[in-house]
Homo-oligomer: A and B are copies of this chain.
Amino acid sequence: MARTQGSHSDITGPKVREAALRLFAEHGYAAVSMRQIAAEVGVQAGALYNYTPDKQHLLFSLLHEHMEGLLAAQAAQPVPEDPVARLEAFCRFHIRQNRARPQAVFISYMELRSLTPEHFAEIGRLRDRYEAGLEAVLKAGQATGAFSVEDTRIATFAVIGLLNAVNVWFREDGRLTLEEVERLHWDMVRRAVSA
C-alpha cells in the first residue's frame, strides 16, 4: 500500500462534490450549509476546505465541470448534413443529456444567480456556446427552406424551453421510455419550426 489508511483525498474529494451537487439541487445553494455537506460525506465541516477554497468556488466548479462536459459531448456528436436531421440530433442529444445529469442541469439553470459576477459571466459564455449550436441549425434550415421561423434567436429559446419541459415531469420508472419521450418532443419541435 502506497498510502496510509488515513489518506482519503481520492475518495473524499469526489464524495464532497457528489454531496454538494445533490444538496444544491435539492435545497438550493443558499439553503445548504457546509456543515450539511460535511455530514453527508461523513467528515467535519473544516475538512471540506481541503477540497475547495470556499463554498462559492464549489458551486462554480460543479457548474463549470458540467458545462465543459456538455460541450465536449456535443462536439463528439456526428453532425448530419441535412438541417432537419441535425435538428433531430440536437433535440435527442439535449434530452438525453438532461436525463443523464439531472442534478447538474438543474443547478445550471437555477443557481446562476448564486455565482459571483465573474463566475456568472464565465458559465454564461459556455452556455451561449452550447445554444449557439442550436441557433446555427435553425439558421441553416431557414436558408435551405426546410424550416420557417421568423426569428431564429427566439425560436432557439422556444425550442430549449420546450425540450426542458421534460425535466419537470420525467421519472425514470414512469410509463414512457426515454426513446419515446425523445420522439414525442422531436415531433413537436419539428412541426413547430418546419416550413
Q: List CB contacts (< 8 Å) of A104-122 with chain B.
A: 110, 113-114
Q: CA–CA, A184 to B168, complex, Å?
A: 24
Distance (whole angstroms) from the CB of A190 to the closest CB of chain B: 9
Choose among A162, A184, A185, A189 the residue with the greatest number of B CB atoms under 10 Å from its CB.
A162
- In the bound complex, residues from chain B placing their C-beta under 8 Å from that of A168 are 157, 161
Cβ of A140 within 8 Å of any chain B Cβ, yes or no, is no
Is the Cβ of B158 less than 8 Å from the Cβ of A185?
yes
Is the Cβ of B28 less than 8 Å from the Cβ of A114?
yes
Q: Report how many residues on chain A are interfacial, defined by Cβ distance under 8 Å.
A: 37
Q: CA–CA, A153 to B189, complex, Å?
A: 16
Q: Pick from B149, B163, B184: contact of A151, CB below 8 A.
A: B184
Distance (whole angstroms) from the CB of A126 to the closest CB of chain B: 16
Is the Cβ of A157 less than 8 Å from the Cβ of B169?
yes
- In the bound complex, residues from chain B placing their C-beta under 8 Å from that of A149 are 188
- Listed in ascending order, the chain A residues whose CB lies under 8 Å from chain B are 26-28, 30-31, 110, 113-114, 149-151, 153-155, 157-166, 168-169, 176, 181, 184-185, 187-189, 191-194
19 A-B pairs besides A31-B114, A151-B176, A155-B188 with CB distance below 8 A are: A27-B30, A27-B113, A28-B30, A30-B31, A153-B169, A154-B169, A154-B181, A154-B185, A157-B166, A157-B169, A158-B162, A158-B165, A158-B185, A160-B165, A161-B162, A161-B163, A161-B164, A191-B192, A192-B192
